Amino acid sequence: MNIDSLFIIVTLRREHPPTLREEMMATRDKTAQAIKIATVRPKRNGMRRADKLAATRSKLMRAVTEIVGEEGYGNASVAKITARARVAQGTFYNYFKSQQDLFDRLLPELGTQLLDRIRNRVASLPVDLKREEIGFRAFFDFLADTPEFYRVLNEAETFSPKAFRDHMNNMIQGYLRALRRSQRQGALPGYSTEDLEAVVCILLGARNYLSYHYMIRTGHIGPAPDWMVRAYMKFVAGGLLYGGTSGPTYRPKRLSAGGGKGAVEGKGPRIITADQSGAVLELQVRDSDRGPTGAVRYGALLDLAASTAERAVGGEHAPAPTLLNLAVSVLIPSHARRLVATARCQERGVAAMHVGVTIHAERNGGAVVVTGQATFVPARRHHKI
């Protein structure tokens, strides 16, 4: 068979009408093609465009955080940032208008992460000593996870002043709102609304200096040392919760000058011992000394602590020393019928006399209800001319 004959046979076959099977196959192919066109193909890496954009931005933010933490803002060039993030330099400008735009966003984003860390830790807790301790530890945990934060924060005052101001305002106002809520619930006695802003600045300043001295300076990366937390909480217990009991804002009930061992003044505490080594006083708790829950009122505990401390410094002799400061920490609510307070003065007659006070439930050596510190100064003597 020659080539011309083969051509004729093929042509005749093509002109023959398609069979039913051929028509079904053709229809199936067209349907499959239509489905293929209508189906949106996923990206090879399984990421949507929005996810890819977010991931690239996150890489740029992480890169600038690391470089500023290592070398400072002054050395954080766009070229270094994109090289660290492994993205093209031109890609940078799809996310930030300029290098300064990136700097202005860096501290606010890290600050938000810090606040979220603290809020998540303390969200379910009332504003008290435990909440303050957990928030304090959360700050140092964040610093351990993001050690670059310290340099980012402190250099931002020069390289990104607006971001620095916004961050400081967010930190202060967030802390302030928590303390004001607590104050409305009856906590923080003696502090005015204006006082609380100063208190917040003091507490935030303590975090900054403690983080530098014990973490940044020494290169320590990890949780806050327990002994540092204890020292901080001792300060807070005396100053934050009971700062309003200092100096002229507090006037304890005075015992009679002639009261000796076993003496009673009205319905106040009974003196058990009072000598050069200190004093021990006992209070039989009355109904009027208790609050709505049956626990001994804060004021009654203050009066007992102040009276015992005054006896320890020789307050029964005229002129009595002047109470300069009294700070107490109520460790547990007490429903005891009897309280025993002990006080020891470090040294009498000096310019400032420091007294440690402990109040026990039911008996001396019982459960500790209150611990405190008092400071007295000798009374001024007036000489006749």
Identify the CATH number of the domain in which residue 273 sits: 3.10.129.10
Evaluate whether residue 263 is within a structural domain: yes
Domain hosting 114: range is: 97-241
Q: How many structural domains does the chain have? A: 2
**For position 315, what pLDDT does the model report?**
60
Task: Check whether residue 102 and residue 180 sit in a common domain.
Answer: yes
The two tokens of residue 201 are 């600045």
Domain boundary among 217, 241, 265: 241
Please answer whether residues 277 and 344 qualify as being in contact, where contact means their C-beta atoms are separated by less than 8 angstroms: yes
Last residue of a domain, one of 241, 267, 295: 241
Q: Is residue 67 part of a domain?
A: no
Bond into 319 cis (ω within 30): yes
**Percent of all residues in the chain with a pLDDT value above 70, rounded to a whole number:** 74
pLDDT at 209: 94
Q: Among the ranges 133-142, 319-328, 360-369, which has the highest mean pLDDT value?
A: 133-142
Residues 184, 124: one domain?
yes
Report residue 124's pLDDT band, with 50, 70 and 90 as the boundaries.
confident
In three state form, how does the secondary structure of 273-288 look?
EEECCEEEEEEECCHH
In a domain, 311, yes or no: yes
- For residue 260, name the pLDDT band (cuts at 50, 70, 90): very low
Taking CA atoms, 335 is separated from 173, 273, 346, 358, 367, in Å, by: 37, 24, 31, 17, 12
Pairing verdict, β 338-345 and 368-377: unpaired
Task: Give the separation between CA 116 and CA 139, rounded to whole angstroms.
Answer: 10
- Mean pLDDT over 259-271 rounds to 57
Max distance between CA atoms of the chain, in angstroms, equals 153
- In a domain, residue 25? The reply is no
Cβ-contact 271, 262 below 8 angstroms: yes
Please determine, for residue 333, whether its predicted confidence score (pLDDT) is greater than 70: yes
The rounded distance, in Å, linking the Cα atoms of 190 and 201 is: 18
| Helices 129-145 and 149-159, packing angle to 10 deg | 80
Residue 4 has pLDDT above 50, yes or no: yes
Q: Are residues 283 and 369 in the same domain?
A: yes
For residue 246, is it within any domain?
Answer: no
What per-residue confidence (pLDDT) applies to 257? 38
264 lies in some domain: yes
Task: Assess whether 150 and 264 both reside in one domain.
Answer: no
- pLDDT over 90 (residue 7): no
Residue 325 covered by a domain: yes
| Same-domain check for residues 235 and 180 | yes
Q: pLDDT tier at 268 (50, 70, 90 boundaries)?
A: confident
pLDDT number for residue 117: 95
CB 270 within 8 A of CB 158: no
Domain stops at, among 208, 241, 274: 241
Residues 300, 371 share a domain: yes
Q: Are residues 224 and 271 in the same domain?
A: no
**Residue 175 and residue 301 share a domain:** no
Q: Is the domain of 231 the same as that of 119?
A: yes
For residues 129 and 234, state if they share a domain.
Answer: yes
Is residue 265 very low, low, confident or very high in pLDDT (cuts 50, 70, 90)? very low
pLDDT tier at 43, thresholds 50, 70, 90: low
CA distance 183 to 225: 30
Q: What is the CB neighbour count within 10 angstroms for residue 285?
A: 19
Token pair for 309: 């401390």
257 and 237, same structural domain? no
Residue with the bigger pLDDT between 332 and 172: it is 172
- Token pair 């208008």 is found at 97
The stretch 91-101 carries a mean pLDDT of 95
What is the radius of gyration, based on Cα positions, of the chain?
Answer: 37
Pick the closest to residue 309 from 384, 375, 235, 214 (CA basis): 375
pLDDT at 375 over 90: no
CATH code, domain with 206: 1.10.357.10
Q: In this predicted model, what pLDDT tens digit does every residue of 188-197 receive, in sequence order?
A: 656 778 889 9
Indicate the pLDDT class of residue 151, thresholds 50, 70 and 90.
Answer: very high
Task: Calculate mean pLDDT across residues 73-88.
Answer: 96
Q: How confident is the model at residue 317 (pLDDT cuts 50, 70, 90)?
A: low
State residue 198's pLDDT score: 92
Q: What are phi and psi of 383, to 5 degrees?
A: -100, 135
Residue 316 placed within a domain: yes
Same domain, 294 and 212: no
